[in-house]
Amino acid sequence: MHNPDIPIHGTVYGVLLNSQAEWHSAEHAMHDAPYKAPPAAPVLYIKTANTWSAHAASIAIPAPAAEVEIGATLGAVMGAPNASGAPHVRGFVLLNDVSLPHSVAQQGFYRPPVKYKNCDGFLGIGAQLVSASDVPHPHALHIEVRINGELRQTVALADMRRQLPQLLAEVGEFMTLQAGDVLMLGLDVCADTAQRPRVKAGDVVDIHVPELPALGTLRNSFTQEAV
């Protein structure tokens, strides 16, 4: 049954290595076997429906992990394809793409990172869907991540390697996004650690965009899964 507190209903796609900083941190491994070259097209993964958590929901950290990574981003929600079959963006929603900590070597570039990203509850979804007409320049926005009230990361969407028009065009070359599907604009790492912020049980994460208060604040608390 659809959760009325979650303003999306389609398939949610993430994009690996779309931030400049994360691409550069992984570039040294891109020429290793078996592919011996950087990915030429966007590398997508799916956040399955079991991962969806509403605003204000508690997210469990699965045992035996002691912490998880926070992936703050915007999701572009697709409208119905136009006459040419190309999708258009209906609106935007705040997302928190939670992951178990893992390295680029563990993740790989071509295997879906299911065991790291698709644990139950591992996608916080904001309560507000803002119309695309109110967000003419999504890559001019900054996403702030606060953990227990302390600012821990600011994601500049201008730093994404493929900005949304290019991302949509390149994804459209190999698959069709349906109305209601959600495409993340990309995740970033902290400049000082080259990692995403991490949280443990008892922490509370707030994600918001100062330039776009209509998105609201996405808040999720974290608990430890019982063993």
Look up the CATH architecture of domain 12-224.
Alpha-Beta Complex (3.90)
| Distance (Å, whole) CA 61 – CA 48 | 17
Residue corresponding to tokens 């939670």: 98
User: Contact at 8 Å (CB) between 171 and 1?
Assistant: no
Lowest mean pLDDT among 20-24, 97-101, 147-151, 164-168: 20-24
User: Hey, where are the domains in the chain?
Assistant: 12-224
pLDDT at 114: 81
Q: Per residue in 21-63, pLDDT tens?
A: 887 777 777 777 666 777 778 989 999 999 999 999 999 999 9
C-alpha 225/C-alpha 227 separation (Å) is 6
Q: Counting beta carbons within 10 angstroms of the beta carbon of residue 40, is it exposed (0 to 12), middle (13 to 18) or buried (19 or more)?
A: exposed
Per residue in 94-125, pLDDT (tens digit) is 999 999 998 665 566 556 678 899 999 999 99
For residue 134, which of 212, 218, 217 has the smallest C-alpha distance? 212
Mean pLDDT (whole number) for 58-73 = 97
pLDDT tens for residues 203-226? 999 999 999 999 999 999 999 998
Residue 137: which pLDDT band, with cuts at 50, 70 and 90? very high
Provide the H-helix boundaries in the chain: 20-26, 104-107, 114-117, 164-171
